[in-house]
C-alpha cells in the first residue's frame, strides 16, 4: 500500500506573505502539492480560477456547506474561504505531501480534525512592515486595510498553537527574505519526512533483508 501523504497547514495574517512563500516553495520543489481553496471574494489581477482559488458565488458556497463538502471553512475579512474534503483526501491517499494555505480560523479547524497535520505560522517582522505590504499590494481599500490590521493581534495570538513559526523578514533589510522563508518551510517538510514513524516501514524492510 502506498504511503499516505502528510498535511501541512500554512497560515498567518493577511499581508505576511503566505502566498508568495508557497509559490516560491512549489516552484523550487515540485514534490510538494497545494490544495486549491474555494472563496467568495473576487479574483485579484492575474489570479486564475482553479489555479489560485476556486472562485464561487455566495449561493454556491452555501450549497457546498449544506452538502458537507468542506474540510474547513471560515469568514475572513468580509469574504468566505473553504477547503474541499475531496481535494484533501485524494491528494493524501495518493501519497502526496499537501499544503493548505488558509486563514487562521480554518487552520484551527484543521488542527482539531487532524492532529497529525503540521501547523506553520507565517509572521511579518513588525506591524509597520505588515501595513507596508498590504499597501504595496495595490489591491486593498483603506477599509480593507483597517479591517485586516485590526485582526492581526488576534491572529498572531494563535501562533502559540502551531508547530512552527516562520518570520518573513522585510525585503528592504533582507533582499532574499522570500527565498529564506520558502527554504525554511521546505526544511520543516524534509524533517517530517525523516521522522522515525515515516521511516519505520523502510527500516523494517531493511532489517528483514539484513537478517535473511
The pLDDT tens digits for 138-197 are 777 788 788 778 778 888 899 999 999 999 999 999 999 999 999 999 999 999 999 999
Residue 116, judged by CB atoms within 10 A of its CB (0-12, 13-18, 19+), counts as: exposed
- Residues in CB range of 185: below 8 A, 6 or more apart: 8, 10, 21, 22, 25, 120, 166
Kindly list the distances between the CA atom of residue 155 and the CA atoms of 139, 146, 148, 169, in Å, as whole numbers in the listed order.
21, 15, 10, 18
- Give residue 100's pLDDT: 93
C-alpha pair distances (Å), 201 with each of 41, 118, 205:
44, 21, 6
Reading the block at residue 14, the C-alpha cell is: 493577511
Give per-residue pLDDT as tens, 68-80.
999 888 887 688 9
The 10s digit of each residue's pLDDT in 21-58 is: 999 999 999 999 999 889 999 888 888 887 788 899 99
pTM: 0.84
Amino acid at each position: 500500500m502506498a504511503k499516505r501523504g502528510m498535511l501541512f497547514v500554512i497560515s498567518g495574517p493577511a499581508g505576511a506573505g503566505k502566498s508568495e512563500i508557497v509559490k516560491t516553495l512549489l516552484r523550487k520543489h515540485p514534490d510538494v502539492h497545494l490544495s486549491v481553496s474555494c472563496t467568495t471574494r473576487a479574483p485579484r489581477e492575474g489570479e486564475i480560477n482553479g489555479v489560485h482559488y476556486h472562485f464561487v458565488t455566495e449561493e454556491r458556497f452555501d450549497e457546498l456547506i449544506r452538502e458537507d463538502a468542506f474540510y474547513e471553512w471560515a469568514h475572513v475579512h468580509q469574504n468566505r474561504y473553504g477547503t474541499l474534503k475531496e481535494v484533501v483526501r485524494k491528494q493524501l491517499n495518493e501519497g502526496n505531501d499537501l499544503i493548505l494555505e488558509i486563514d487562521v480560523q480554518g487552520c484551527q479547524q484543521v488542527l482539531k480534525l487532524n492532529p497529525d497535520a503540521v501547523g506553520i505560522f507565517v509572521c511579518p517582522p513588525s506591524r509597520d512592515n505588515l501595513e507596508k505590504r498590504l499597501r504595496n499590494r495595490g489591491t486593498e481599500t483603506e477599509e480593507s486595510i483597517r479591517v485586516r490590521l485590526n485582526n492581526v493581534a488576534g491572529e498572531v495570538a494563535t501562533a502559540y498553537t502551531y508547530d512552527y513559526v516562520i518570520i518573513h523578514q522585510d525585503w528592504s533589510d533582507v533582499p532574499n527574505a522570500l527565498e529564506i522563508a520558502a527554504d525554511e518551510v521546505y526544511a520543516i517538510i524534509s524533517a517530517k519526512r525523516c521522522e522515525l514513524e515515516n521511516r519505520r516501514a523502510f527500516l523494517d524492510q531493511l532489517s528483514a533483508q539484513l537478517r535473511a
